[in-house]
C-alpha cells in the first residue's frame, strides 16, 4: 500500500512539474503543411531556425484534406502549404488567404513518373503499356487524393482510360499507398509524383513519362489572414521562395524551375524536365548498385537522398 501511495504522489508531482514548464519568449509559428512535404520542410525549418534563433517553426502535419476543416474551425495558423494548389485555392475562396499571387508564390512542383516493382517484371516502358491486358495497375481514388485526378487526366489524354480502369486492382486513398503497394509487388506499376518515387529508390524502378503526358503540379505556399506573427511568417515564406529554399526542395526530387513551359491542362510542353528525369532514373540505379557513381553529373541534387538510402536495407533515415 505504501508503495502505491508513494508512486501516486511521485507521479502527481512529476506531472505538475511538466505542466509547469512555461513558454519562453520565442515566437513560434504554426505551419499547416501537407504530410508529403515533411522531409523537405523539416530541412527548411532547421536552416531557418538557425538563421532566426528567436523564431520557432511548428508544423502541424496532416493529410491535405484535413486542413480546410481545421482552419475554418480554429482560425489559427501562420502559414499554409498543402499538397496541391486546389486546397490552397479553397482557402483563398473562403477568405483565409488574402494576398495569394499564383505567379510568384509557388516554390516547387511535383512531376509525375511511372514506378514499377524492382526489375520491372511486366516491362512497362510508357503509359500505353498500362492498357495491356493482365497488367495490375494501381490507381488513386480521385475523391480522396490528387494523384487520382492526375491518373484520370493522363490516361484520358492518352485515350486509354477505360482499358486502364479495367486493369486497376487497387484504388488508393493516399499516394503512399501506391508507393507501398509497388514496393511490396502488389501492383505491376502506377504513376506517382517524383517526390514519392524518390522515397522508394531501393525497391522500385523509375520510368520517366514522355513529356506530352508528364504532369507538373503546382505547390503554393501562403501566409494566412489570421497569422499571429505576420512578419516572421512572411520571412519564412520568403526563405522558402528563395533560391536556397528551392534548392532544398530540389534535393527531395521536386522540380523548382519556374520556367517549365506548361500547357493549360498542366502537362509539359517540351523536354525541359528531361534532365531531371534522367537524374531520378540514375538515382534509383545508384541506390541499388553501390558501384554506380554518385556525382552532380549522374544524379544532380539527389546525391544526398541516394547516400541516405544506401545506408540501410529498408528505407529510413
The CA distance from 47 to 34, in Å, is 19
Closer Cβ to another protein, 197 or 216, answer by number:
197
Show the binding pattern over residues 26-55: x = contacts another protein (CB under 8 A), - = does not: -x--x-x--xx-xx--x-------------
Q: Report the alpha-carbon distance of residue 113 to residue 54 in Å, rounded.
A: 40
Cell of 4: 502505491
Which residue number, 34 or 266, has a Cβ lying nearer to another protein?
34
Considering only 47, 51, 54, 75, the residue that binds another protein (CB under 8 A) is 75
How big is the CA angle at 251 (ends 33 and 36), to the nearest 5 degrees?
A: 25
The CA distance from 246 to 258, in Å, is 10
Strand segments (E) across the chain: 27-34, 55-62, 79-81, 108-117, 137-140, 168-172, 190-193, 204-207, 216-219, 222-223
CB of 265 to another protein, least distance (A): 28
Of 1, 20, 24, 101, the one binding another protein by CB under 8 A: 1
Pick the binder of another protein from 122, 136, 228, 235 (CB under 8 A): 228
Q: Supply φ then ψ for residue 66, to 5 degrees.
A: -75, -20
Count of residues that interact with another protein, criterion CB under 8 A: 45
CB distance 221 to 241 below 8 Å:
yes
Residue 4 as a binder of another protein (CB under 8 A): the answer is: yes
Q: Which of 149, 199, 280, 286 binds another protein (CB under 8 A)?
A: 199
Contacts of 162 (CB under 8 A, 6+ apart): none
Establish if 76 lies at the interface with another protein (CB under 8 A): yes
Gyration radius of the chain's alpha carbons: 22
Instruction: Pick one of 61, 161, 211, 239: the residue that binds another protein (CB under 8 A).
Output: 61
Write down the least CB distance from residue 38 to another protein, Å.
6
Q: What is the binding site for another protein (CB under 8 A)?
A: 1, 4, 8, 11-12, 14-15, 18-19, 23, 27, 30, 32, 35-36, 38-39, 42, 58-62, 66, 70, 73-76, 174, 176, 179-180, 183, 196, 199-200, 228, 311-317
Amino acid at each position: 500500500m505504501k508503495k502505491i501511495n508513494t508512486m501516486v504522489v511521485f507521479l502527481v508531482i512529476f506531472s505538475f512539474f511538466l505542466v509547469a514548464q512555461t513558454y519562453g519568449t520565442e515566437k513560434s509559428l504554426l505551419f499547416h503543411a501537407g504530410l508529403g512535404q515533411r522531409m523537405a520542410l523539416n530541412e527548411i525549418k532547421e536552416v531557418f531556425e538557425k538563421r532566426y534563433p528567436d523564431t520557432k517553426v511548428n508544423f502541424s502535419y496532416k493529410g491535405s484534406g484535413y486542413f480546410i476543416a481545421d482552419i475554418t474551425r480554429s482560425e489559427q495558423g501562420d502559414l499554409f502549404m498543402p499538397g496541391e494548389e486546389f486546397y490552397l485555392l479553397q482557402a483563398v475562396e473562403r477568405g483565409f488567404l488574402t494576398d495569394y499571387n499564383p505567379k510568384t508564390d509557388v516554390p516547387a512542383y511535383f512531376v509525375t513518373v511511372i514506378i514499377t516493382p524492382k526489375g520491372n517484371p511486366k516491362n512497362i516502358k510508357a503509359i500505353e503499356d498500362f492498357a495491356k491486358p493482365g497488367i495490375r495497375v494501381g490507381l488513386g481514388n480521385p475523391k480522396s487524393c490528387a494523384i487520382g485526378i492526375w491518373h484520370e487526366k493522363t490516361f484520358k489524354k492518352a485515350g486509354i482510360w477505360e482499358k486502364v480502369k479495367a486493369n486497376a486492382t487497387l484504388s488508393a486513398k493516399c499516394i503512399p499507398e501506391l508507393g507501398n503497394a509497388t514496393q511490396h509487388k502488389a501492383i505491376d506499376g502506377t504513376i506517382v509524383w517524383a517526390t514519392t518515387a524518390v522515397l522508394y529508390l531501393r525497391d522500385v524502378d523509375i520510368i520517366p513519362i514522355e513529356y506530352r503526358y508528364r504532369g507538373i503540379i503546382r505547390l503554393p505556399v501562403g501566409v494566412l489572414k489570421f497569422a499571429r506573427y505576420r512578419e516572421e511568417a512572411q520571412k519564412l515564406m520568403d526563405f522558402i521562395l528563395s533560391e536556397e529554399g528551392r534548392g532544398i526542395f530540389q534535393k527531395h526530387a521536386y522540380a523548382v524551375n519556374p520556367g517549365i513551359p506548361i500547357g493549360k491542362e498542366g502537362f509539359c510542353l517540351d523536354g525541359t524536365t528531361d534532365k531531371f528525369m534522367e537524374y531520378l532514373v540514375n538515382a534509383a540505379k545508384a541506390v541499388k548498385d553501390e558501384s554506380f557513381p554518385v556525382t552532380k553529373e549522374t544524379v544532380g541534387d539527389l546525391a544526398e537522398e541516394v547516400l541516405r538510402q544506401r545506408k540501410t536495407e529498408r528505407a529510413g533515415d
